Amino acid sequence: MIKRSCLLIMLTLIAGAASKGQELFESAQAESEESTNKGIEFNGFVRGSAFGGSEFYDYSSVFGEFCLQSKLSQGKTYLYADSRFRGGVNFDEEYAGFQLKEVYAGYQSDKFDLFLGNQIVTWGRTDGLNPTNNITPNDYFFLTSDMDDQKLSNFMLRMKYRFTSVIDIELIGIPFYSPSNYRFDLFDTGESVSYGEATLPEKSFGNSSFATRLNFEFPKIGFSVSYFRGHDPFYGFNVQSIDFTTGVPLVTNTATPYLKNTIGIDFALPISSWILRGEAAYNITNDYEQLMYVPNPDIAYVVGVEHNFCGITTILQYVGKYTLDFTELQQLVLTDPANPLAQMQYTEKMIIHESALFNRKIFCQQEKTNHAVVLSLNKALAYDTWNVELAGYYNITSEELMIRPKVTWKITDALAASLGGSYMTGQDNTIFDYSAPVLSGVFAELKATF
């Protein structure tokens, strides 16, 4: 009922926006002296996208999509809507649907902004991996040529006040939780393991999220300090039940979000033709010793450098995590192999042990420190007609690797074609080892903008 009510409100906003936009257009024709204070814009795209060739799926994601983006302004009031109509096949399941990617209204002035609605907000200054960004959930199993397509909106109240032209503060309130999308049910983790419905926090004031950021944009350096309190969109898993009735233990896991507080900092420092970027977050959690889906407190950090080598934009980043209060998981021993009850208790403890280890892998906390490197290369050719990209990620601690090449051909100003792929690999029983048969593959896309 809540989802239907929210959808009706959003559709009403869009309908009202379209009606108001028509009124503004007619008014602008009739009264040209007011036209500079009113405006409406429409743009968007149509695309066909295909991703496939994985070990488990010939066609992981194949769809056609129509996107309409509209902006309406009158004086200092503002409305924006991004609507998507999409249909196709996703992991062998046919679908057709409508998505409100973003839709929000508000007030915008020289000193103060106020927006309410479904919005996508990304904090942080490093490239791709942002430890301070705890606001935006992601659909990691929406496969396209553009990784930004995976970002999902949150319903939020967002306010920004500019003290000066280089100093501002942003406040965000999120009344209810929106999780990221993981499809661990697609992985080959054993026939005896299944995933039930997510255990989401109740929609209450106590479970609301709050975030604030004080941002500085000086000519020679930009930096910010931030704070977040709420449930992390990047959640863990809990063992919901263990069923021994069939003789073989059947395990049901459930996605379970956890509450945390995060204090973050980030900066971008140009040095001659180089740009040095950094970002760090101190994540504070509770009850992590009793609850397997709650990670230990940790410090996550990214340090990167950007430079242009012979026309190739190169970004090299080091990604690290330091886990506080870290303890090794204790190895279990079956003390009485001849006792059926002891065998059952041992099996149950082993399931809990392996599930706790799986969560540590998700959170990159299987060791006290975790180290990874990221390399991104980007080269434009033939007067920007062609663009070649190559991104790579290697986790030194877990020995997991991902490589993602992409070539884009700008056929005309309004038509572009993309071709690329994604390759993942990892040691046995790592996250990338489970992911590779599903998320590795090739993609192709044709996109027309208007």
- Tens of pLDDT, residue by residue over 128-161, are 899 999 999 999 999 999 999 999 999 999 999 9
Q: Which pLDDT does position 58 carry in this prediction?
A: 93
pLDDT band, residue 193 (cuts 50/70/90)? confident
Beta bridge partners of 45: 67, 449
pLDDT band, residue 338 (cuts 50/70/90)? confident
How does DSSP classify residue 130? Answer: -
> Percent of the chain scored above 70 by pLDDT?
91
**Has residue 221 got a pLDDT over 90?**
yes
User: Which residue carries 């506080």 as its tokens?
Assistant: 324
> How much is the pTM?
0.87
Would you say how long the chain is, in residues? Answer: 450
Say whether 143 sits in a helix, a strand or coil.
coil
Beta strands 298-309 and 236-243, pairing class: unpaired
Nearest to 264 by CA among 296, 229, 316: 229
The CA angle 329-333-334, to the nearest 5 degrees, is 145
**Has residue 421 got a pLDDT over 60?**
yes
Q: Kindly report the number of other CB atoms within 10 A of residue 306's CB atom.
A: 19
pLDDT average, residue stretch 87-91:
96
Q: Which pLDDT does position 24 carry in this prediction?
A: 36
Q: What is the pLDDT of residues 247-296, one digit of tens each?
A: 788 999 999 999 999 999 999 999 999 999 999 999 999 999 999 999 99
Q: Which pLDDT does position 15 carry in this prediction?
A: 39
Q: CA separation (Å) from 322 to 3, 264, 281, 412, 420?
A: 39, 15, 11, 48, 34
> Percent of the chain scored above 90 by pLDDT?
81
The CA angle 447-448-450, to the nearest 5 degrees, is 140
Query: Cα–Cα distance between 405 and 392 in angstroms, integer?
Result: 9
Contact 441, 54 (CB under 8 A): yes
Contact 358, 382 (CB under 8 A): no
**Has residue 446 got a pLDDT over 80?**
yes
The CA angle 111-117-118, to the nearest 5 degrees, is 115
Q: What is the pLDDT of residues 103-113, one digit of tens each?
A: 999 999 999 99
User: Which residue carries 């340090």 as its tokens?
Assistant: 303
Contact 42, 68 (CB under 8 A): yes
Domains and CATH numbers, the chain: 1-102 (no CATH), 109-449 (2.40.160)
Nearest to 116 by CA among 195, 171, 57: 171
pLDDT average, residue stretch 289-306:
97
Nearest to 135 by CA among 281, 245, 335: 281
Contact 365, 326 (CB under 8 A): yes
**Has residue 36 got a pLDDT over 50?**
no
Q: Kindly report the number of other CB atoms within 10 A of residue 87's CB atom.
A: 14
User: Which residue carries 């204090």 as its tokens?
Assistant: 263
Q: Which pLDDT does position 345 carry in this prediction?
A: 86
